[in-house]
Structure 1
Amino acid sequence: MSALSVEPLLDTATVAVRDFVCAGDCRHKSAEECAGATSLVFPYRGLFVRHLGRNDAVAEANQVLFFNQAEAYCISHPVEGGDASLSLTIDEALLAELTPTEHLRPGGAVAGDAVAFRRQRRRIDPRAQVLVALLRHSLRRKAIEPLEAETLTLTLVRRALGERTSHTAGASVGHQKLVDRAKLVLASDLARRWTLAEIAAEVGVSPVYLTQVFQQVEAVPLYRYQLRLRLARALDLLGEYDDLTTLGMDLGFSSHSHFSAAFRQAYGRTPAEFQRSAALR
């Protein structure tokens, strides 16, 4: 088993927020495990794969994963570096109230039954990524009161489940596996300035076919997906860097102005403004 640390950040009658960090030593499937309660898991660093029956889900910072209570799954780490995720467990009645019925399995969210999601994951938008980072940074630095943290958590859940603010991948199994392979390539070297031809060669298809299938499955272009992964990593690292130019260069941006402009376009504020709002500096 991989070395796993769990840091409780908030525990109230409404929500429980925990920070999971895994070293990623287990490259192949782990032994089966089950979630004790239905949880929403937001990866913010690295990557892992969740195996649920015959269905695999690549978990990275553009996704929220749904871990249903008592549902058996395995985890693997095909890319080195481990992973970290923010896990949210919401009061059962509130989660049922927050979740659109089309996201639930038949029989879920009714008397006597735990809320159970139909799918393993949804793609989240940049605003949800910001909420994940704000919640984690603020709780770790004790810069937020419980009431505000609870409200922020429920806002994040609502956004992660919204039809206009998230996306469920819809594709054949073959197309989904192709897109997942492309995600593993990107995650293997997040700062590398990949070319389309290089990624296509890694996954064994033509550049045209790759761009078409990726757009169909994820509803965003491949280049924008990679950009969001880099920016999500920046959200994670902003508390560790005094020199934001160095951070941008370390993540593969060509200059500080490029990094700052991309960050502002995605999140509505500059990296320095985010540091101040999250009490990182």
Structure 2
Amino acid sequence: MSQFKVQLLMDTGTVRVRDVVCSGECRHRSDEECTSATHLVFAYRGVFVRHVGRNDAVAEANQLLFFNEAEAYQISHPVEGGDACLDLVIEEGHLRELAPQEQLRAGGVLAFRRQRRRIDPRAQALVALLRHSLSRNVAETLEAETLALTLVRRSLGERTSHVAGASPGRQKLVDRAKLVLASDLSRRWTLAEIAAEVGVSPVYLTQIFQQVEAIPLYRYHLRLRLARALDLLGRYDNLTALGMDLGFSSHSHFSASFRQAYGRTPAEFQRSIRSR
């Protein structure tokens, strides 16, 4: 049985959107593969690692990963649970319009220089809104196309996204910390516990994480938990239970954190994806 479940949500020629769920059975590196077009992959649940040569990238809900056309890669799942991603293919001419030139490699084939780019909470909300709307068949085609292009524009924006700027060694250290967080997303981690798992001091970890991701580790973890809430809002009727399951101390704490990140409460966002 295949470990992948792929659902085509939309294909207009301008944009193709798929929901890709992987069971994560391949714990070590998979065989090499490549894509026939450039894919923009937004993980919204779980985590995986993409390997391109010696360069590794952790894919989780704070990151957009670029799967360049004809670029060989491997996938591994060091954390149990698999992953789920929203996979976008934008018509090449439109993607060239959307992508800042400095993010692309020189040459005729459209390819991004970096494997990944950190997205902001508003982009996370757009991922959830696009996926929920298409999977529930409540979005008009024109609206969904516009949402998809808005998501891409925001995820590539110099002011609305971030590319890690540190040595490969420091990026690997930060990636190890991300995998620790992903191993138990609802756990109320202490800094000392994460640092011990990574093998560095708490002070060093906070400094390096801030340098690589440009936000504090605790805020990065909070965004991961809130992104999981975006994923689960379509399934929960009891939002207090959802907040507690994600490690928040109370419903008010969960609601306030969600509203600060996404501009609306969990209940308001839930109504928007159910009644569009």
TM-score (norm 1): 0.97
Encode CA deviations 1:29-59: one digit per residue, 9 max, x unaligned.
Answer: 0001101110100000000000001100000
Helix, strand or coil for the counterpart of 2:144? helix
Encode CA deviations 1:11-35: one digit per residue, 9 max, x unaligned.
Answer: 0020000000000000000001101
Q: How many Å separate the matches in 1 of 2:143 and 2:262?
A: 20
Greater mean alpha carbon deviation, residues 1-10 or residues 190-199: 1-10
Which residue in the other structure is 2:20 paired with? Answer: 20
Q: How many Å separate the matches in 1 of 2:275 and 2:246?
A: 19
**Structure 1 counterpart of 2:198, one-letter code:** V
Helix, strand or coil for the counterpart of 1:7? strand
Which residue in the other structure is 2:252 paired with? Answer: 257
1:114 to 90, 109, 113: 109
Encode CA deviations 1:192-219: one digit per residue, 9 max, x unaligned.
Answer: 0000011011111110000000000000
Answering whether residue 235 of structure 2 is matched by residue 240 of structure 1, we say yes
2:161 to 156, 160, 166: 166
Helix, strand or coil for the counterpart of 1:224? helix
Please list, as runs of the form range in 1=range in 2, the aligned pairs for 1:72-83 lying within 5 A after superposition.
Answer: 72-83=72-83
1:134 to 111, 124, 129: 129
Contact 1:191–1:252, Cα closer than 8 Å, also in 2? yes
RMSD of Structure 2 on Structure 1 (CA) = 1.1
Q: How many Å separate the matches in 1 of 2:227 and 2:35?
A: 26
Which residue in the other structure is 2:56 paired with? Answer: 56
Which residue in the other structure is 1:32 paired with? Answer: 32
Encode CA deviations 1:227-255: one digit per residue, 9 max, x unaligned.
Answer: 00000000000001000000000000000
CA 225–280 in structure 1, closer or farther in 2 if over 3 Å, else same: farther
**Structure 1 counterpart of 2:228, one-letter code:** R
User: Deviation of residue 280 (structure 1)?
Assistant: 6.5
Report how many aligned residue pairs link the two structures.
276
**Structure 2 counterpart of 1:201, one-letter code:** A
Which residue in the other structure is 2:271 paired with? Answer: 276
Contact 1:41–1:64, Cα closer than 8 Å, also in 2? yes
Q: How many Å separate the matches in 2 of 1:200 and 1:280?
A: 44
Contact 1:10–1:17, Cα closer than 8 Å, also in 2? yes
Q: How many Å separate the matches in 2 of 1:13 and 1:179?
A: 38
Which residue in the other structure is 2:71 paired with? Answer: 71
Helix, strand or coil for the counterpart of 2:233? helix
Q: How many Å separate the matches in 2 of 1:5 and 1:53?
A: 27
Which residue in the other structure is 1:155 paired with? Answer: 150
Which residue in the other structure is 2:8 paired with? Answer: 8
Q: How many Å separate the matches in 2 of 1:178 and 1:157?
A: 28
Which residue in the other structure is 2:205 paired with? Answer: 210
User: Deviation of residue 114 (structure 1)?
Assistant: 3.1
User: Deviation of residue 2 (structure 1)?
Assistant: 6.3
Unaligned runs of 5+ in 2: none
Helix, strand or coil for the counterpart of 2:234? helix
Encode CA deviations 1:152-177: one digit per residue, 9 max, x unaligned.
Answer: 10000000000000000011111111
Identity %: 79
User: Deviation of residue 278 (structure 1)?
Assistant: 1.1
TM-score (norm 2): 0.98
Misfit runs of 4+, over 2 Å: none
Q: How many Å separate the matches in 1 of 2:78 and 2:36?
A: 25
